[in-house]
Amino acid sequence: MYRVCFVCTGNICRSPMAEAVFRAQVREAGLDGLVEVSSAGTGSWHLGEDADPRTAAVLGTAGYPLHHTARLFEPDWFEQHDLVVALDEGHAAELRSMARSTAEAAKVRLLRSYDPDADPDRLSVPDPYFGGSRGFAECLAMVEAAAPGLLSEVDAALEAREAG
């Protein structure tokens, strides 16, 4: 099993959106059962809550199912995950500071780094929480643009495991 965890601040907007989109792509690629997709937050403000209603609405409109309860990323989760995908540079820095080894820190990647058209100087997905529905739609577009590149990397890693 290859495990990917998406991480944002409160685990109610960006990371559950990335989780839902990537889970759908994993299913469409026939990798269900080989790839486990989850999400978490760096802060505990929303633990146990559902995703933000605006996240649920934009995902529902786009046809992505969402079943979500906010969780907090714990440092020992590095051992359980192959990739820890941060939604912005602040999350990436916080996750790397939680890592107990360089190998764990190397598991942290920025989601938009998988988007070949993303500006390499602007790899953060902006937090839509304090804005309107347009910010959530823009967030979804960024997630959808990066997901195929991430899926390609995960698929290559699975093939390498199988060959090795």
Catalytic position from the list 5, 13, 14, 139:
14
Give the number of other Cβ atoms within 10 Å of residue 16's Cβ.
Answer: 28
Catalytic position from the list 27, 82, 96, 127:
127
Residues 6+ apart with CB under 8 A from 147: 18, 21, 22, 25, 114
Question: What's 151's DSSP letter?
Answer: H
Catalytic position from the list 5, 8, 13, 139:
8
Question: Is 3 part of the annotated catalytic residue set?
Answer: no
Question: Is 96 part of the annotated catalytic residue set?
Answer: no
Residue 49 in 3-state DSSP? Answer: coil
In whole angstroms, give the CA distance from residue 7 to residue 158: 22
Question: Is 14 part of the annotated catalytic residue set?
Answer: yes
Residues taking part in catalysis: 8, 14, 127
